[in-house]
Chain A
Amino acid sequence: MGSWRNHVRARLQQRDQTEKLPYVGVFTSLSQLEERFEIRKQILDDVQSKSLERGGVEVGKNTRLLQLQLRESEHLAEKLSQTVSDLTTVLYLKEAELQHWQSRVSQYRQEALTLAKGSKTLKATLSDIEFTLECQSKELAALRAEQKGLKEALGQALREKEELLQRWMEEKREEADRMNKYNDTQERWHRWARQLKKHLHRETGKEYVPKVTSPWSDTTETSPSVIQRHPDHNKVSTVAKA
Chain B
Amino acid sequence: MNTTEANALLIYVVYKRLQNIDQKKVSLSLDLGVCVWGIYSLCATGSRSSMADDKDVLRDVWFGRIPTCFTLNQDEVTEREAEPYYLLLPRVSYLTLVTDKVKKHFLKVMKAEDVEEMWFEYEGTPLKWHYPIGVLFDLHASNTVLPWSITVHFKNFPDRDLLHCPSNSVIEAHFMSSIKEADALKHKSQVVNDMQKKDHKQLWMGLQNDKFDQFWAMNRKLMEYPTEEGGFRYIPFRIYQAMSDRPFIQKLFRPVSPEGNAHTLGNLLKEMYPAAIPNDGEPKRYQVVIHGIEPLLETPLQWLSEHLSHPDNFLHICVIPTPTD
Contacts and interface: CB of A to CB of B under 8 A. Distances in A.
B292 interface: yes
A23 B147 contact: yes
Interface of A: 2-9, 11-16, 18-20, 22-24, 26-28, 30-31, 86, 89-91, 93-98, 102, 105
B213 A9 contact: no
Given A9-B56, A9-B57, A16 B64 contact: yes
Contacts, number: 104
A22 B67 CA distance: 9
Contacts of B296: 3-4, 7-8
B214 interface: yes
Contact of A8 (B57, B66, B214): B57
**Chain A interface mostly helix, strand, loop or mixed?**
helix
A27 B298 contact: no
Interface of B: 10-11, 13-14, 17-18, 32, 35-36, 50, 53-54, 56-57, 60-61, 63-67, 86-88, 146-147, 211, 213-214, 217, 291-296, 298-300, 303, 307-308
A90 B299 contact: no
B32 A8 contact: no
Contacts of B11: 94, 98
Given A11-B294, A15-B293, A94-B213, A20 B64 contact: yes
A30 B70 CA distance: 14
A11 B296 CA distance: 10
A12 B67 contact: no
A36 to B, nearest CB: 14
A4 to B, nearest CB: 4
A20 B88 contact: yes
A9 B60 contact: yes
Nearest to B15: A98
A156 B50 CA distance: 75
19 contacts: A3-B296, A4-B298, A8-B57, A9-B56, A9-B57, A12-B64, A13-B60, A15-B64, A19-B67, A19-B292, A20-B65, A23-B65, A27-B67, A27-B87, A89-B214, A91-B10, A91-B17, A93-B217, A98-B11
